[in-house]
Copies of this chain bind each other. A is one copy, B any other.
Amino acid sequence: MMKKALFASDHAGVDLKKILVAAVTSWGYTSQDLGPCDLQPVDYPDYARRLCEALLASQGGDIGVLICGSGIGMSIMANRFKGIRGALCLSTEMANLSRRHNNANVLILGARLTTCSEAATDILKTFLDTPYEGGRHDQRISKFDN
């Protein structure tokens, strides 16, 4: 089954988002950009909510990508939602750990901090390709929502 990748950002993340949408499409994923599409200032919590609600309503195995300036605001808002495990990642190492240990389903990037689009693309590829380890982590992640 083909995974779907949902994207949303604020104005600071629009340019990087377009690059990453093109990347996942080239890797064979279905993608959906939930906005915004231009550089008019918006409030990142509105777009975090839109993406999280869509992801929670989607099939298991789909993932989300949220981008704002630092990634911090998106990280606060996304993790308000039960069932969302949002990981702010600045490196492939963090993306790897977030999948293996936390079974993260939303990758969060800071466009001001990850300014190199190749680095961001590598982080996303690692996030998509790394499986969750399970084992001792099951008990921990079950506590997020209980």
Contact = CB atoms under 8 A, between A and B. Distances in A.
Interface of A: 41, 43-46, 49, 69-70, 72-73, 75-80, 82, 85-91, 93-94, 97-98, 101-102, 104, 110, 112-113, 136, 139-141, 143-145
Contact of A143 (B46, B69, B101, B112): B46
Contacts of A86: 75-76, 79
A141 B46 CA distance: 11
B70 A75 contact: no
Given A43-B139, A88-B88, A98 B77 contact: no
Contacts of A75: 75, 79, 86-88
A93 B73 CA distance: 14
Contacts of A87: 72, 75-76
A17 B44 CA distance: 32
Contacts of A43: 139-140, 143
A72 to B, nearest CB: 5
B76 A102 contact: yes
Nearest to A45: B143
